[in-house]
Amino acid sequence: MVAPLEPDDPRTLGGFRISGRLGEGGQGVVYLGHAPDGAPVAVKVLKTGLDPVVRARLTRELDVLRGVAPFCTARVITAMVDGREPYVVSEFVDGPSLQQRVTASGPLRGGELERLAVGTATALAAIHGAGIVHRDFKPGNVLLGPDGPRVVDFGIARHDESETMTAGPVGTPAYLAPEQIAGHPATPASDVFAWGATIVFAATGRAAFGAGNVAAVLHRIMTTFPDLTPVPPPLRAPVERCLAKDPAARPAARDLLL
């Protein structure tokens, strides 16, 4: 769903015409844009205040992102990191997020759920294979395009994140891995944990570790294990392994896919 532009929103960025808002999150605002040839694109304007360390890592990661397999992710087209308004332009995926789809129509079933699991595990394997950690894998960052699920928002350095994680855990609380809550940097194993929690949400329509205030959710992630009975048998065992409290006990994304 495209919302109208607000008065302070840009109308053009680097030759791309901006026509509406697609969403807003912790990293910044995502706009619907159009390339000079009229093709639709997603333009994410990152929050200002990126410190030099984050800017440098963002530049490095964007170079790598262009090599990630585009069939399961939104391809990065171009980016401007050094300007007053840093932004990233990527392929526009015409479809709702998994969060929107489940909220509107309920849990996924059968082949639809299995396609989601395989497609997103493929994306994680490709992202990790490029040496990138997603850091914020969640239903809102899985878009259900006409040709299958696409994972977005991966590898982009957060404006409030430094190499030392002094700002605390980064990501959406309900999908943070225990080690992130304990203050350790995100790793590929953290993404795999978030994948497991995302599949639970897709299969049940509920967050794996329940709702409520952030402190209560984080406590449950650290100390309890979700009821996986509603998750169909072909997926239940791998999801259970992915939700292990110990990151060393979780499968790598490549092994998860196989």
Active-site residues, by number, are: 136
Q: Sheet of 12-13: strands edge to edge?
A: 12-13, 16-24, 28-34, 40-46, 87-91, 76-80
Helix (H, G, I), strand (E, B) or coil at 18: strand
Which are the contacts of 3, defined by CB distance < 8 A and separation ≥ 6? Answer: 20, 21, 22
Helix (H, G, I), strand (E, B) or coil at 227: coil
Q: At what angle do helices 188-204 and 98-105 cross, to 10 degrees?
A: 20
* CA distance between the termini of the chain: 35
Which residue, chain included where needed, has tokens 């950690």?
A: 133
Q: Using DSSP bridges, classify how beta strands 40-46 and 28-34 pair: parallel, antiparallel or unpaired.
A: antiparallel
Name the residue type at position 57: R
